[in-house]
Structure 1
Amino acid sequence: MKLTAPSQYLIAFIFVSVALFSSCEEVVVTPPVQTISFEEANRLEETYKKTRAAILNDTLGYEDTREFWFSLDTIKKYISYIEQEGTRMGKKNLGLRVYLGAYPSQGNYPDPGYSTVFMVPTVKSEGNPLKQGFLPVEDTHENLDSLNALNYGHGGKPPHDY
């Protein structure tokens, strides 16, 4: 049986449609192994409040910020920026380091005198074989100082409990 041109197009259309729809399955993303439960996160925050926040607040004379918010869009854009620039520089094994900081009391800052966090891109160090000797050397990550750090998230004033 010889197929006519319209029949051939119909069969091709059905084949392509099936192929496209079967590849549109939802991708399931598993959380990284570093995720922690609500209970563990709460335990960490409570320990911080008991062992550090009280000392800071007493010393400063006011309740300092202890939680910070960044939109997912901002974080995704920052990660894309790091990946783009890291690739351009030929860097692999990129990461992020989070630093604690404080805005100076004087100056044009969003929350003068309050704590902040900022993120810095990192790259895994190549490691010097001469330093390794007989002992294993721990992986180290160097800051990529040529790339901009990310700051200016929103700090909770007063802080929000987890």
Structure 2
Amino acid sequence: MAKKVQKPQKCIKVEEARELHNNWCKKRGKRLHKKLGFEDAREFHWSVAELEEYLAYVKQESEEQGIQDPGIRVYLGAYPKSKCKMGRGYSTLFFSATGSRPGASGKDGGIVENNYDIPAFNHGNSGHPPNDY
């Protein structure tokens, strides 16, 4: 029998997640829609297997580089209209590996660096129209 995994401490309740999403929609989403002229992407999906594959790759490559505590930073991005399937330049999220090499100190009071030797991870799916939380 596999060992039961504990709920991570940084999990938030459904109500808090809904509040965060609703605040984004009301305060940013409406302004973006008005400025862009279309409803932009605001939710993104990757399978657990895809995420595990990337995390395993980051761990492996970081270990080979001597990075002992790698991390992931999430960035907002936007496709150029010419590379967007629907020709609009929708928003996207991508993941960047982080971690300081041995002997290096993190910048800005301990914030770790992006590890540009490991490719970023992108190409999830998004709902059209977006799915509310």
Change in 2 beyond 3 A, CA 1:30/1:110: farther
Structure 1 residue 102 corresponds to structure 2 residue 69: no
Gapped runs of 5+ residues in structure 1? 1-24, 132-136
Structure 1: which amino acid aligns with 2:49? D
**Of 22, 25, 34, which residue of structure 1 is paired with 2:10?**
34
Structure 2: which amino acid aligns with 1:86? S
Query: Could you say which residue in structure 2 is the equivalent of 1:71?
Result: 47
Query: Could you say which residue in structure 1 is the equivalent of 2:119?
Result: 148
Note the C-alpha offset of 1:151. 0.3
Q: C-alpha distance in 2, partners of 1:27/1:111?
A: 45
CA displacement 1:60-108 (0-9 Å, x = unmatched): 000111000001100000001001100111111110000000000013x
- Percent identical residues: 38
Query: Could you say which residue in structure 2 is the equivalent of 1:121?
Result: 97
**Of 13, 21, 40, which residue of structure 2 is paired with 1:45?**
21
Structure 2: which amino acid aligns with 1:27? K
Q: C-alpha distance in 2, partners of 1:52/1:78?
A: 30
Note the C-alpha offset of 1:155. 1.2
Note the C-alpha offset of 1:31. 1.7
Change in 2 beyond 3 A, CA 1:30/1:111: farther
Whether the 8 Å contact between 1:68 and 1:154 is mirrored in structure 2 is yes
Note the C-alpha offset of 1:110. 4.2
Note the C-alpha offset of 1:138. 3.1
Structure 1 residue 157 corresponds to structure 2 residue 128: yes
Larger of the two Rg values belongs to structure: 1
Change in 2 beyond 3 A, CA 1:78/1:111: farther
Q: C-alpha distance in 2, partners of 1:66/1:148?
A: 23
CA displacement 1:3-52 (0-9 Å, x = unmatched): xxxxxxxxxxxxxxxxxxxxxx3311112111101000000000000111
Q: In structure 1, the residue corresponding to 2:132 is in which secondary structure?
A: coil
Q: C-alpha distance in 2, partners of 1:106/1:83?
A: 34
Structure-2-length-normalised TM-score: 0.90
Note the C-alpha offset of 1:127. 2.0
